[in-house]
Amino acid sequence: MTECVSLVCSDDEDQYNQVQDLSGIVEGAETNQHHCSVCNKTFIRACNLYGHKKIHNKEKTFSCLICKKKFSHKYSLDAHERIHTGERPYSCSVCEKSFKQLSALKYHRLTHTDERPFSCSVCQKGFIHSGALNRHMMTHTGERPYSCSVCEKTFARKHNLDAHKRAHIDKAQAAVDLLKKTKNKMPTSWSISIQVYFYSTFKTTPADLSASHKSKK
């Protein structure tokens, strides 16, 4: 049985998958595999399965002293704290680029080689990790799993959805500012309609949205 080692990763499911992918690539597959009874995900080592199950149990016993965010694993907390400290302790021996996480360095090292262990079954394009392959497959399938709760527009990637949502917020803030300037001149029915629109769309009032917007500046 391969010795169980702690890998630096985060609670983010995509990055957790990448760490497990890399573990299999570097250390090789074993005949004894361990399956999660909740999502049927397979792990080479029992200790990795144990750590994975904490995601389903939502057991978070490690807390950041700075922002109070909680994590299921100590190594996840250590990786998170580097966001606050800016520490990048893992350096590439080829180009000297540094990283906050060991897993990121290991994937980076593959960019200096031609190794692409995950390949597309449609076009045979190769990728370093399964997350990149999964995102690429959406270009073939047309899948757009991220949906805007305001206008129901869909996106293939979450960061595109986040940018789209910010556009909604910016428009809403402009409406808040206009409402403040014209409140005394605006017919009561218009003002009520705007209030109803805000609550049904953003589950908040113009005043609360304005306060939230200011607190994030």
Beta strands in 125-214 (DSSP E): 126-127, 146-147, 154-155
Instruction: Write the burial class of residue 34 (CB in 10 Å: 0-12 exposed, 13-18 middle, 19+ buried).
Output: middle
* 24-28, 93-97, 110-114, 132-136 — most confident range: 93-97
Confidence of residue 48 (pLDDT cuts 50, 70, 90): confident
Q: In this model, does residue 114 exceed pLDDT 70?
A: yes
Reported pTM: 0.41
Query: b/e per residue, 180-194, with b = 16+ CB within 10 A?
Result: eeeeeeeeeeeeeeb
Instruction: Write the burial class of residue 213 (CB in 10 Å: 0-12 exposed, 13-18 middle, 19+ buried).
Output: middle
Per-residue pLDDT, 84: 92
Look at the block and give the residue holding tokens 């985060």.
10
Q: Taking residues 131-156, what's their average pLDDT?
A: 86
Q: Which of 68-77, 151-160, 169-178, 189-198 has the lowest mean pLDDT?
A: 189-198
Per-residue pLDDT, 187: 58
Q: How far apart are CA 129 and CA 109, in angstroms?
A: 12
Per-residue pLDDT, 19: 47
**Dihedral pair phi/psi, residue 179, rounded to 5°:** -60, -40
Read off the amino acid at residue 86: G
Q: For 50-94, write each residue's pLDDT tens digit.
A: 777 767 766 777 899 989 898 878 888 888 888 899 899 899 999
Confidence of residue 10 (pLDDT cuts 50, 70, 90): very low
Q: Taking residues 123-148, what's their average pLDDT?
A: 87
Answer whether 97's CB lies under 8 Å from 91's CB. Answer: yes
Per-residue pLDDT, 125: 92
> Cβ contacts of residue 115 below 8 Å, gap of 6+?
128
Per-residue pLDDT, 40: 76
CA dihedral 100, 104, 106, 107 (to 10 degrees): -160
Structure tokens at 104: 């990121």
Per-residue pLDDT, 196: 64
